[in-house]
Amino acid sequence: MEMSLAHNKSFMVSSELLMAYDEFASFEHGEKGNIIDFIQYAYHMESPFVRMYESINDRLQKIGEIVQIKDERAFQILFLVGTSIKSVDDDELAKLEAEQNQRMQSQIDSMISCFLSRIQNNYKFELYITYQSLFSEYCSRLRSKVPFYIDEDKALKAMETKVKITQPSQDLISSIERLRKEIFGNNTHYAEIIDKKVSKGVEYYAKNFKKG
């Protein structure tokens, strides 16, 4: 049954489109095609494996039996799902190998988080970062102090304005959390990777992260 599913690639995003994103284009590996296939089988919302196996561990296990990846390091990294590889301090050779593993893990994590957000859920993701930006603006206004030198009427009006924007701020939190769940599902590790990039600001995102 699973072998027949492995031949179904009609749902997959084309290689040409994926290579338009730096996270995929910059990844260099002899088994790049198989690794990307593994990612799409595991995380594409139209993947038959996603539909059949709700548990990410069960899903990865089944895909791992089908998609042949000879590089043991890459194969293991695809199964980590948020578990960091720790470096070894007492052995230089082991330390170097661990650093290489960490670099590969970072690259694979970036591809998966990019796929979940900017490729598979592009419009929702645009709204997601817009809500986050708006929430930051609300918080900035709420944190700003009312100048002590202004008259009482203006001070009261300024505080009333803060009270008025408190509720929209709380509503935004619900919207952000809902979109986060819709985009990333239970893959919180990859959501955190994306959030770290978005938290660097809109200018950083526009320059280094967003694709038109």
pLDDT of residue 87: 45
98-to-3, 81, 124 alpha-carbon distances in Å = 33, 17, 36
CA–centroid distance for 46 within its chain: 18
The total number of residues shown for the chain amounts to 212
pLDDT digits (tens, 9 = 90+) for 110-142: 999 999 999 999 999 999 999 988 898 888 888
Which residues are CB-contacts of 187 (< 8 A; sequence separation ≥ 6)?
Answer: 43, 56, 81, 112, 116
Question: How many whole angstroms separate alpha carbon 196 and alpha carbon 124?
Answer: 18
pLDDT of residue 163: 83
Question: How many whole angstroms separate alpha carbon 118 and alpha carbon 126?
Answer: 8
Please answer whether residues 69 and 78 qualify as being in contact, where contact means their C-beta atoms are separated by less than 8 angstroms: yes
pLDDT digits (tens, 9 = 90+) for 36-86: 999 999 999 999 999 899 888 889 999 998 998 999 889 988 988 655 544
| Site of tokens 């408190």 | 166
Sign of CA dihedral 142, 143, 144, 149: positive
Average pLDDT value over all residues in the chain: 84
Sign of CA dihedral 140, 200, 81, 176: positive
For the chain, the structural domain boundaries read: 2-119, 122-189+201-209
| Site of tokens 């199964």 | 79
